[in-house]
Chain A
């Protein structure tokens, strides 16, 4: 058996794992790892294991490491595993490191050379949840740095939108590639994750970003200033980035108005309790969940504080002052409803579809202007045209 002579095993990129041999030789970086103990039911003995994700830029694969060394194995560690067993779980290959597997440290230079040219090209439209090991040529439409807390530490993530001729996708980069809006780039070594029906391209320190000329790529304005589309059409496509719709506000869904959020995670606090952090003292915030209807369909527009203040003409401080007078948040919600229902708005943002229908997270909300004279002329012409 090959496992008996592991030194003869040829190294394979993780993308190839599971295609040929049941025992492989790989080099990869630990993306995440968690130490556990399994209790054997027969004699109650404990056996430690480390499980997590291993990646080499061509693919990310789950691994299980039985009896790992006692010392801490950090995220980012690169290791070489000779004689790892390949199992399949839910149609995806996984690696198991047993006593037969020889594991040793490795350096970044030993990772498979990621030549972007060797990776298969993808278009934005083709990207699907779980995709990895591809290259993408795209235009940066928007990019913004944001500080987030990951576990204990604060990290900066660069978020924005990428587009080619056929579509727009959100991206999130954990590495600062110095991206700027309007740049044309060639990206390799990213992967795609989908959350609540919204696709995101994730870039990290394993990804490659190179500048290129913009030939064949759309100007940002082509996507960012798209005219409004029928809500039913956006819904049929399952949502999308940089989507504009226009319609009447026909309702306001709870919770809207003055809400309280967990100071840790910004989740809504109900009855003084956060779903994750338990009893917390909620921080006041404003939001409005507008039902926007254009006659073809309806969408929920989830407006945050800034947009709600602008629509309502009332700041968070004003709303809290009012609450001291009326002492009933539902009165404030009615007042908000009164000021928004019946308004004609143009909303631009990221749309996603789930069991509750289409939801739009707006980037901009503005009153929709209607040119009455132009509309009357156009309508009269259509009547006369008789078709």
Chain B
């Protein structure tokens, strides 16, 4: 394996259904999100229609942007911050609802209510012609079917040697990921997922992209419920989020470990007349959106 992580071609639906994480250990190791369909993702490439960008956070230098990428099977949040300047400019610049290709790192975040959401931190965002968007989707679907075929083969013949699979043209990384997917998602509905790819194939053939349809029930979700794309926050909510983030930053700055203490933030909000329920709701939204995370119970930091 090379040093650079390959960009797995996946649909938004596959990202939604991925729940198993492998956290790297040590100083500088990658973490991975394993999908039920044989992708072991650190980096992904997706195509679809990119929605309007929204700013998250208040102050310009630490600005953080988010947009929703919609493909025929669902949607995923795409984010870019000041550490991804090239991607951030692209995410902000162009008009809404344009065909685009996004390459980035996957992040899976589990909120305190148990809901999980996957987002993609963009490294590259590219507006493309519709034909290019469809071509990328075609590649995604072909590789998805290849991976599903590979899993099926291993399922039928668990003792098959890697060397034999390699002869079939499968890269080593795919073989390892397929075996792991079978082990970690023994009950995943792979047939259902395959059948559910039909609208995506129709889009490759030229059927225009419709807004994401709710799951049609063909796919059984066994671990987490898929999250619908987040609703547009109102101006009022945005203001509350910005206030919350400001307090988090202030608390983090004043603390020794660089984390913001949740209780302190809530207390300061209470001083400003924001009730605990309201504050929890804002915190929930920020965590779901991948803006804040709580790596230690009671300690917050910007994701």
Contact = CB atoms under 8 A, between A and B. Distances in A.
A341 B90 CA distance: 11
Given A248-B136, A342-B126, A372-B138, A298 B172 contact: no
B7 A295 contact: yes
A137 B136 CA distance: 43
A230 B169 contact: yes
A356 to B, nearest CB: 7
Contacts of B8: 295
B134 A372 contact: yes
A150 interface: no
B123 A251 contact: yes
Interface stretch (A57-65, A114-122, A179-187, A378-386): A378-386
Given A372-B131, A372-B205, A379 B138 contact: yes
A383 B194 contact: yes
Contacts of B149: 387
Contacts of A235: 1-2
Interface stretch (B112-120, B196-204, B210-218, B241-249): B196-204
Contact of A296 (B103, B124, B171): B171
B298 interface: no
The size class of the interface chain A forms with chain B is 35 or more
Interface in A253-298: 291, 293-298
Which of A294, A379, A382 has the most CB atoms of chain B within a 10 A radius of its CB?
A: A379
B168 to A, nearest CB: 11
Contacts of B9: 295
Interface residues of B, number: 45
A250 B45 contact: yes
Contact of A375 (B45, B101, B204): B204
Contacts of B198: 383
A231 B138 CA distance: 18
Contacts of B174: 232, 296
A80 interface: no
B132 interface: yes
A344 interface: yes
Contacts of A230: 169, 171
Contacts of A231: 6
A88 interface: no
B152 A387 contact: yes
Contacts of A248: 7, 45, 101, 103, 136
A236 B5 CA distance: 15
Contact of B143 (A236, A295, A356, A372): A295
A8 interface: no
B135 A344 contact: yes
B145 A250 contact: no
A386 B195 CA distance: 8
Contacts of A295: 6-9, 45, 139, 143
A197 to B, nearest CB: 13
A250 B206 contact: no
A233 interface: yes
Nearest to A233: B171
Contacts of B172: 232, 236
A379 B145 contact: yes
8 contacts: A233-B169, A248-B136, A250-B124, A295-B8, A297-B6, A375-B142, A383-B197, A386-B194
Interface of B: 1-9, 45, 86, 101, 103, 123-124, 126, 128, 131-132, 134-136, 138-139, 141-143, 145, 149, 152, 169, 171-174, 191, 194-195, 197-198, 201-202, 204-206
Given A357-B2, A357-B4, A358-B2, 13 more contacts: A231-B6, A232-B171, A251-B123, A295-B7, A296-B174, A298-B5, A334-B86, A342-B101, A372-B205, A375-B135, A376-B138, A376-B205, A379-B145
